Structure 1
Amino acid sequence: MPAPGTSALVVELPAAAGLLDAAAAIDPALVRAGLPPHVTALYPFLPAAELTDEVDAAVTALAAAHEVVDVPLADLVVAPGFVAAAAPALQALADAAGDRWPGVQPYGGRFGPHPPAHLTIAMGGTDEQNTEVARRVEGLLPLTARAEALHLVVLTERGWQLRLTAALATPAR
């Protein structure tokens, strides 16, 4: 469980809310409270005490270097205590975030320097719960969600709070 002062870079995907709703219908504890459906670009990010105007500017520049993108969510990833939808369309952004802050290991280094981009649907469930979440979610896939911004969020005593929204670049036409 993250502690207050933890921050993260995330890309919200509101169109994927139904996937989290399906998991919450089985057990609300399977879905992270306080965060909308999202793909994590870098977690944990910098401690809140280290977030400065310069960091905000770097996050904004990172977002501006990546275009708004439609994110197909079609493939489920199921592992013990975990159900997610793969989000390869956001892999370049997640990799760039990790490369920009090489001293920050995604997920504490548990999955290497470039873990696969994904939308977490359920966490902490039993095998039976995961099977049921996967069954319900498969009926909602595939779906496509639009990624338009990179968000810097900070965990406080009151939950996750938005610090910065940085727009992704508009694709050239």
Structure 2
Amino acid sequence: MTAVGEGHAPEDRSALVITLPMANPLLEAAAEINPALVRKGLPAHVSLLYPFLPAAELTADVDAEVRDLAASLPAVRTDLKDFVVAPRFVAVPAPALQPVADAFCARWPHIAPYGGRFGERPEPHVTLATGATDEEAELVRDRVRPLLPLRVAAWRVDLVVRTDGDWRLRLTAPFAASP
């Protein structure tokens, strides 16, 4: 994940994510190559808005807006089947979650996903490895490939906050219909 921005400590981060526990075996397979490649503190997930708001700006009104927006969206099933590979990075795209990401980005247009590092509309994905050498990235793909395709259900949005070096769940906002 990227830094929140100027003036915010790492512990002052929040993110809107869709956790995908059924995809945890993909992270476990990547961690078998090198545990340092897999982010600690969160299960398999797709980031909708990271960074989101500084922790000090998270209010009951923001919580209500997150819940209301999530409740206006249907649950989504998506197939994880391909790889996105960039230098030091391996992920599995979750394209069916693009409308959800678009809805949250439209609600908070002043927040650029990933600080704008990947454009205005980055493709939703489950990150498998960051900081990988070319050889490690290839090994991760080889280890994960037999686990794909994987159909996962997205039925809620989680607002998480980074505190004391770990991620803490602030709220869970279910979609309109759960799978």
Q: Distance in 2 between matches of 1:130 and 1:138?
A: 12
* Unaligned stretches of 5+ residues in structure 1: none
**Which one of 95, 105, 111 corresponds to residue 98 of structure 1?**
105
The amino acid across from 1:64 in the alignment is: A
- Partner of residue 63, structure 2: 56
- Whether the 8 Å contact between 1:20 and 1:31 is mirrored in structure 2 is yes
Query: What is the Cα-based RMSD across aligned positions, in Å?
Result: 1.3
Q: Distance in 2 between matches of 1:7 and 1:115?
A: 18
**In the alignment, structure 1 residue 149 sits paired with structure 2 residue 156:** yes
- Partner of residue 46, structure 1: 53
**In the alignment, structure 1 residue 76 sits paired with structure 2 residue 66:** no
- Partner of residue 20, structure 1: 27
Percent identity between the aligned chains? 56
- Partner of residue 11, structure 2: 4
- Partner of residue 169, structure 1: 176
Q: Give the Å deviation of 1:158.
A: 4.1
Q: Give the Å deviation of 1:114.
A: 1.1
Q: Distance in 1 between matches of 2:101 and 2:176?
A: 15
**Which one of 138, 150, 159 corresponds to residue 131 of structure 1?**
138
Q: Distance in 2 between matches of 1:119 and 1:66?
A: 20
- Partner of residue 86, structure 1: 93
Q: Please give the secondary structure, in 2, of the residue aligned with 1:44.
A: coil
- Whether the 8 Å contact between 1:98 and 1:113 is mirrored in structure 2 is no
Given the two structures, how large is their TM-score scaled by the length of structure 1?
Answer: 0.96
Which digits, 9 at most, give the CA deviation of each residue in 1:13-37, with x for residues without a partner?
0000110001100111100000000
Q: Give the Å deviation of 1:70.
A: 1.1
The amino acid across from 1:44 in the alignment is: P
**In the alignment, structure 1 residue 140 sits paired with structure 2 residue 147:** yes
The amino acid across from 2:91 in the alignment is: A
- Partner of residue 167, structure 2: 160
Q: Please give the secondary structure, in 2, of the residue aligned with 1:144.
A: strand
- Partner of residue 37, structure 1: 44
The amino acid across from 1:160 in the alignment is: W
Given the two structures, how large is their TM-score scaled by the length of structure 2?
Answer: 0.93
The amino acid across from 1:66 in the alignment is: L
Q: Please give the secondary structure, in 1, of the residue aligned with 2:64.
A: helix
- Partner of residue 112, structure 1: 119
* Unaligned stretches of 5+ residues in structure 2: 4-9
Q: Please give the secondary structure, in 2, of the residue aligned with 1:85.
A: strand
Q: Distance in 2 between matches of 1:164 and 1:150?
A: 8
Q: Please give the secondary structure, in 2, of the residue aligned with 1:61.
A: helix
Q: How many residues align?
A: 172
